[in-house]
Structure 1
Amino acid sequence: MPKLFGNGVRLRAAERADLPTFVRWFGDPEVTEYLNMHSIMSLASEEIWFEGMLKKPFSEQVLVIEVADCQDIPQPEWQPIGTISFNQVDTVNRNGELGIVIGEKAYWNRSFGSEAIRTLLDYGFFELNLHRIFLRVNASNQRGLKAYTKVGFIHEGTLREASFGKGHYQDVHIMSILRPEWDKLSKKKG
């Protein structure tokens, strides 16, 4: 499986050895606060999920976000901090839905998530030839909204009270970025 490299981040295919880490991340209420998860994931349920995920094309598989412990040495140690993926790739309309989780809270607010998104956007636009990449974000997820806007996503609309959590409904924003917008932002032409 290919690895995708960004500025200080590496995206690689999820492996069976990652599953205990995923269980730890997704068992943390702070990590899952804005995810549409209504139960804690067990290792057994992660195994079932993993087997199903392996049947998907690479373009829709979950990628592990890793950061280098020390980037100045020839063989840095890569540490997993989260996951990122295209949940759906529509090859007819050339759209993809992006999802990301930074599971290691020590790496929150340090721009690694933004860089992982940039790396996956490059892959989506320049390798998969997508025209539009979109995401859904809970209206109360201020950290996510800030990161997505910083990368270049634009608010398209709001799904009113589309998510239920903590005893009440929440609005969900749809944000997207188009290939011509990314071309301008990334200074790449493909």
Structure 2
Amino acid sequence: MSVEQIIWMSAGACGLGPLRSDLAEQYWRWEEDPSSLIGFGRPVPESLPSRTQGLQQQLAGRNIRFTVYDLADAENPVPVGMTTLQPDTYARSAEYILVIAPEARGKGLAAPATRLTLDFGFHVANLRSVWLKVLAPNEAAVHVYEKAGFKHVGAMREAGYWQGAVCDELIMDALASEFGGPSVLGPTGGVSGP
């Protein structure tokens, strides 16, 4: 495993490591894939130079960001996505954002990546709650979030677009007090290094 591929947390075939500046183009490609743009309800793509500049600011910022790795081949972890917690330190809450590479979707990595990020948020960042917004027609994403422990708490009516049609944007949250099971960061946890 190279220095760039440090895995901080893992569960099964999924691991999380630091955001990496050398992956700026891959992050951009994942975010700008048309299926990702539809999932975010964002119709305007971003240029690679703009995303690279933004990544430099994010690396220095206060958001909690991870690279998601497919650990099917433990000797050669493959970067396949990103997770982000955008914290509100006063409220001890954070917004959650997930991007999985199109070629890695359907491999069962999104729910464990989400759960690992929640584990870090609740056990290391000391958050009380984590919330997200997801477009109602994005049933695959809704299922992933439910599987990871998020619950439906409301909807913003007609707040989004899905393939050109107006749709509701669901609001889901997860609470530290309801986050079950031991942390992978415990004494027998899933932290690894080079």
TM bucket by the smaller chain? 0.7 to 0.9
Fraction of identical pairs, as percent: 26
Q: Is the 8 A contact 2:92 2:126 kept in 1?
A: yes
- Range moving further from structure 2, 145-154 or 106-115: 106-115
> Which of 143, 146, 156 is 2:140 aligned to?
143
> Which of 123, 128, 136 is 1:126 aligned to?
123
Alpha-carbon distance in 2 for matches of 1:131, 1:61: 15
> Which of 9, 12, 28 is 1:5 aligned to?
9
> Which of 35, 39, 61 is 2:40 aligned to?
35
Return the structure number with greater relative CO, CA threshold 8 A, min gap 6.
2
After superposition, residues 1-190 of structure 1 pair within 5 angstroms as 3-7=7-11, 8-57=13-62, 60-71=63-74, 76-86=75-85, 88-103=86-101, 105-182=102-179, 185-187=180-182
Specify the SS of the correspondent of 1:98. Answer: strand
Equivalent in the alignment of 2:189 = none
Alpha-carbon distance in 2 for matches of 1:133, 1:167: 29
Give, in angstroms, the shift of residue 154 of structure 1: 0.7
Structure-1-length-normalised TM-score: 0.85
Which stretches in structure 2 are left out of the alignment for 5+ residues? 187-194
Which stretches in structure 1 are left out of the alignment for 5+ residues? none
Give the number of equivalent residue pairs.
179
Alpha-carbon distance in 1 for matches of 2:147, 2:72: 25
Specify the SS of the correspondent of 1:97. Answer: strand
Alpha-carbon distance in 1 for matches of 2:177, 2:54: 35
Structure-2-length-normalised TM-score: 0.83
Give, in angstroms, the shift of residue 187 of structure 1: 4.1
Give, in angstroms, the shift of residue 9 of structure 1: 2.0
- Computed over aligned residues only, the root mean square deviation of the Cα atoms, in angstroms, reads 2.0
Specify the SS of the correspondent of 2:40. Answer: coil
Structure 1: 4+ residue segments shifted above 6 A: none
